[in-house]
Amino acid sequence: MRRIAYSDELPISRRVDEIRAAIEAHQVVIVAGETGSGKSTQLPKICLDLGRGADGRLIGHTQPRRLAARTVAERIADELGTRLGREVGYTVRFTDQVGPSTRVKVMTDGILLAETQRDRRFDRYDTLILDEAHERSLNIDFLLGYCTQLLPARPDLKLIITSATIDTERFARHFDAPVIEVSGRTYPVELRYRPLAGDGDGDRPDRDQPTGICDAVEELLRAGPGDILVFCSGEREIREADEALAARSLDGVDVLRLYARLSAAEQHRVFAPHDRRRVVLATNVAESSLTVPGIRGVVDTGTARISRYSPRSKVQRLPIEPVSQASADQRQGRCGRIGPGICIRLYSEDDYASRERYTTPEIRRTNLASVILQTMALKLGAIDEFPFLDPPRADAVRDGFKTLFELGAVDRHRRLTRIGRELSRLPVDPRVG
């Protein structure tokens, strides 16, 4: 492993000494900065610099998605001059690239949460980095609550929470921890609103989404150099946009897709060196966790698939919904890294202003039956006593227990049954399970 150095191009590098001092002085540190500021790759190096990840213990580094876990691990290993699986490794579902000499282990937050079954005190780790905590997924909220309970019993364990420059006050209050801001955007980004809806008098007709994406891509290609990142809500929308762009016959431009279910080889194409201009069609996997290189233009459709529970039908759905202002700002910030950027939003400024400020935490929009089942299976204690950042409502907890009782997953005394244990192993809604 080569000597640890920090790239001058990354905003976080200007705060290395401050972050190092904060980690030494506090058990919990919150590092806030937009995606692309270098948090994910440089924080493990700062921890190694401090001598963490030694004496057989690991620096655990979580990512919300498998794609991000693998690419972050590859980037850290490359910067440290080591082969993946040696000093730096990663673990995701069905893949374990961790060896006896590993000091930094990158994994999905679900993998770390599952480890509470075998290692209740996280004794394998001397440092935990919970990355992209602003996403507030169930796994992240469980880990934050679990660490809240664990930290007094493990004074030697360091916890570093990273978040976009949004909603950090809540983390700071919950953990009574310092917040270090690392500015992510280096260059200005010009915002252009190009709503799909027409103006009503025929001068500007309504357009469908693929047409809107094609028009925006052509506008950005005329505006200047650099690659273009297009945010779509799912695979189907990516495929439709790809077909529409192919019909426009854009000379000298490669169109690539990026979403979680792609093969590793297809995903790697997005990060490989290239000579031609590229248009990358991505889901919100590129909104945080991953920095697609070379982006000077962003097209934001303003939507994403967001998991939401319907109390009436008692089904967990995945509808396409408008993203929050915070998510829209994250997407805009993708194109101000290597030079002045342009972000085209396919919705109006009034539409943006009317949106929620932050994305609703998953625990407030999910079926609590599955949350209760997971809490009981992981032996995390009573759900109404667990230190969530946003505790669920009492009526939602009662409804969740009622559903589990109807399914035979818990008995009258709210104890897990054999059926409940089997259902907890299935990564689906308990009713489907």
Lookup: tokens for 370 = 């599955």
pLDDT value at 237 more than 90: yes
Task: Give the least confident one: 139-148, 266-275, 307-316, 336-345.
Answer: 307-316
3-state DSSP assignment of residue 169: helix
pLDDT value at 67 more than 80: yes
| For range 1-6, the mean pLDDT | 83
Question: Quick one: which of 220, 246, 254 has its CA closest to 346?
Answer: 220
pLDDT value at 201 more than 80: no
| For range 9-26, the mean pLDDT | 92
| Chain mean pLDDT for the chain | 89
pLDDT value at 337 more than 60: yes
Model confidence at 166, in pLDDT bands (50, 70, 90)? low
Model confidence at 35, in pLDDT bands (50, 70, 90)? confident
pLDDT value at 177 more than 70: yes
Per the document, the length of the chain is 433
Model confidence at 410, in pLDDT bands (50, 70, 90)? very high
> CA-CA distance, 397 to 99, in Å (whole number)?
42
3-state DSSP assignment of residue 295: strand
Model confidence at 164, in pLDDT bands (50, 70, 90)? confident
Position 33 scores a pLDDT of 83
Task: Give the least confident one: 33-47, 215-229, 285-299, 388-402.
Answer: 285-299
pLDDT value at 310 more than 80: no
pLDDT value at 58 more than 70: yes
Kind of pairing, strands 320-322 and 303-305? Answer: antiparallel
Position 132 scores a pLDDT of 87
| For range 33-55, the mean pLDDT | 90
Model confidence at 11, in pLDDT bands (50, 70, 90)? confident
Torsional sign, CA 308, 311, 316, 317: negative
> CA-CA distance, 5 to 42, in Å (whole number)?
9
| For range 56-83, the mean pLDDT | 92
| For range 318-329, the mean pLDDT | 91
Position 202 scores a pLDDT of 56
Position 65 scores a pLDDT of 87
- Which residues does 3 contact at the CB level (< 8 Å), separation at least 6? none
Position 23 scores a pLDDT of 96
pTM: predicted TM-score of the whole model, two decimal places: 0.87
**255-277: b (≥16 Cβ within 10 Å) or e:** bbbbbeebeeeebebbbeeeeeb
- Phi, then psi, of 401 in degrees rounded to 5: -65, -35
Model confidence at 184, in pLDDT bands (50, 70, 90)? low
Region of residue 140 (phi > 0: left; psi between -120 and 50: alpha; otherwise: beta): alpha
267 vs 389, which has greater pLDDT? 389
| For range 16-22, the mean pLDDT | 95
- Phi, then psi, of 151 in degrees rounded to 5: -55, -45
Position 241 scores a pLDDT of 96
Model confidence at 155, in pLDDT bands (50, 70, 90)? very high
3-state DSSP assignment of residue 3: coil
| For range 141-159, the mean pLDDT | 94
Model confidence at 296, in pLDDT bands (50, 70, 90)? very high
Q: Provide the percentage of residues in the chain whose pLDDT is more than 90.
A: 51
pLDDT value at 176 more than 70: yes
Model confidence at 86, in pLDDT bands (50, 70, 90)? very high
Lookup: tokens for 69 = 């876990």
